[in-house]
């Protein structure tokens, strides 16, 4: 069994996992971004900065937004209630100027808070 893992490159192994239902989907997405060489790039004409910084808890929830995990799934991963996740998501939307999950993810990527989408 160990030999199988040695014969397959890490990105291939991670991409083989079902992205929407894996236990650590946010971490896997971030690792794939790093392995692909994607790093946030500072920009002189970049997006307008946040008016209020994100809390540590909001950042933890933000890492799960690019995944297909539901609010209860995210709550389970973080060991908090679904209502807590909903509150953090509402605060994230307000701070990022977003109305939908995809907008929040795009804005967070523009700001370098999330790794670019793996291709």
Task: Give yes or no for residue 25 having a pLDDT over 80.
Answer: no
Separation between Cα atoms, residue 84 and residue 88, nearest integer Å: 6
Distance, CA of 95 to CA of 50 (rounded, Å): 7
Percentage of the chain beyond pLDDT 70 is 60
Provide long-range contacts, Cβ within 8 A and 24+ apart, for 81-90: 84/57, 85/61, 88/55, 88/57, 88/58, 88/60, 88/61, 89/61, 89/65
Residue of 5 and 107 predicted with greater confidence: 107
* Domains, the chain, with CATH or none: 9-110 (1.10.10.10)
Lowest model confidence (mean pLDDT) among 12-21, 58-67, 71-80: 12-21
CA angle 64, 70, 72 (to 5 degrees): 100
Mean residue pLDDT across the chain: 79
Q: Tens digit of pLDDT for each residue in 64-89? A: 999 999 999 999 999 999 999 999 99
Measured between alpha carbons, how far is 53 from 21 in angstroms, rounded to an integer? Answer: 29
Q: Which residue has the higher pLDDT, 26 or 22?
A: 26
């Amino acid at each position: 069994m160990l030999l199988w893992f040695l014969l397959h490159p890490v990105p291939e192994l991670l991409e083989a996992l079902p992205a929407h239902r894996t236990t650590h989907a946010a971490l896997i997405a971030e690792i794939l971004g790093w392995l692909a060489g994607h790093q946030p790039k500072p920009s002189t004409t970049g997006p307008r900065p946040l008016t209020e910084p994100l809390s540590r808890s909001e950042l933890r929830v933000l890492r799960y937004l690019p995944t297909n995990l539901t609010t209860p799934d995210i709550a389970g991963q973080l060991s908090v209630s679904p209502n807590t996740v909903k509150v953090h998501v509402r605060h994230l939307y307000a701070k990022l100027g977003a109305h939908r999950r995809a907008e929040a993810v795009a804005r967070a990527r523009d700001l370098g808070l999330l790794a670019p989408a793996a291709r």
